[in-house]
Structure 1
Amino acid sequence: MGTRLKVLSVFKRLHRTRLAVFNNDDRSLTAARLKINDEFRKNKNEPSEENIQKMIKMGSDVEIVLREAVLQMEHLGENTLLLRPRESLLLENVPYCDQPRKKS
């Protein structure tokens, strides 16, 4: 796959992940969109192939961190938070299970 296609692929994955992670949170959705677009626009004219590959790797790593480590919480009161985990986080984050997992 060409470098340009890799960059576009990472860009699209970041935006799809942003939509899933910050679902129903307009402020965070907007902030993440602006940050992603700003970083890609800032490095648009990077001439070094080596630096481009490093940035592609960093973008992929950021997408993984967003997908696997970010949780949504909402303030309900002074000392109360409502946790809204995504389904994908609940399935992989089981420290103990009575029944062993089936091998796929």
Structure 2
Amino acid sequence: MSVNIRQKVLQSFKTLHKTRLNVFNGDALALSEARKKINEEYKKNKHVTDQTAIEELIKYSNAVEQELKMCVIQAKEVEPGVYQATITKDTAKLDNMPFDEFASVTQSRRKTHSKCQQNEK
């Protein structure tokens, strides 16, 4: 393995662990389990020598890091039935769309009706 690839692997390993510390801050169990999983995955792929395969694994590591940063949030129950979520600057925030059950049922019926008319022809 070239020195450059080795540095990239070590950097992705360190970055994942830093992300783990930020995402699961204050949750000892999650920190421990995430640490075990990261170490396990890197040990499992330790034997890989093909440079292309290593590059793909590094890309996968980067994707996992982004997923952790953007999609994982912590929530604590502050009182029965009431939770407080920890949202970071990296957390993906989506626009809320109100759900109108009647409108979706009506639209579905229209599609079904138009398909039935096409089949009759």
Relative to the length of structure 1, the TM-score reads 0.79
Structure 1 portions without partners, runs of 5+:
96-104
| 2:57 aligned counterpart, secondary structure | helix
**1:74 alignment partner, SS class:** strand
Q: Which has the higher contact order (CA 8 A, sep 6+)?
A: 1
Measure how far apart 1:76 and its partner are. 3.8
Q: Which has the higher helix share?
A: 2
Distance 2:49 2:7 in 1: 16
Q: What is the aligned partner in structure 1 of residue 105 from structure 2?
A: none
Which runs of 4 or more aligned residues in structure 1 lie more than 3 Å from their structure 2 counterparts after TM superposition? 92-95
Q: Which of the numbers 47, 52, 55 marks the counterpart of 1:53?
A: 55
* Cα distance between partner residues in 2 of 1:28 and 1:94: 25
What percentage of residue pairs aligned between the two structures are identical?
A: 35
Measured after TM superposition, the shift of residue 77 of structure 1 is 4.8
Correspondence 1:1-104 to 2 at 5 A: 2-86=4-88, 88-89=89-90, 93=93, 95=95
Deviations 1:53-96 (A, max 9, x none): 1100000010011111111111345533221112x147x7485x
Radius of gyration: which is bigger?
2
What number of residue pairs does the alignment pair up? 93
Structure 2 unpaired stretches of 5+: 96-121
